[in-house]
Amino acid sequence: MSEFEQKVLKLLEGINGKLDTLLTGGTATSSSHSFGGSPEPSQVTSSPSSRPKPSEIVEKQKEAEKLIEKPPVEGRRVCADCGGTTFNAVEDKSQVLHQMGGVKIYAKKYICRGCGAES
């Protein structure tokens, strides 16, 4: 490996070690580089035991996404009873739209495939 790759590997191992100590609840006390933008672990006011694990936060976010109702695609029909979006188009014989040469053109009515309600 080149010298650059060895430096990068050493930095990644240091970061991995710090992350492990933070996740296990300890404090990271290594003498490697300290970046000015991030606070020191001793300055953090919340205790590690009260902080939720990242995996728990992700699970809560996924549950919240499932609970949020997604709006239907614009222009799609939605059944008022069951919320379904699949319909059968049937001629409505009670509404004649046009008649030409003995051929009648009827209006369409849409019947939900899920519950059978007309819309």
Mean confidence (pLDDT) of the chain: 79
Give me the number of domains the chain comprises: 2
Residue 116 lies in a domain: yes
**Residues spanned by the domain of 56:** 3-28+40-67
Residue 35 lies in a domain: no
Residues 53 and 84 in one domain: no
Q: Encode pLDDT of 31-50 as tens digits.
A: 445 555 555 555 555 555 67
Residues 62 and 20 in one domain: yes
Considering the entire predicted model, what is its pTM? Answer: 0.36
The answer to whether the beta carbons of residues 34 and 40 sit under 8 Å apart is yes
Alpha carbons 2 and 92: distance in angstroms, whole number: 78
The answer to whether the beta carbons of residues 93 and 105 sit under 8 Å apart is no
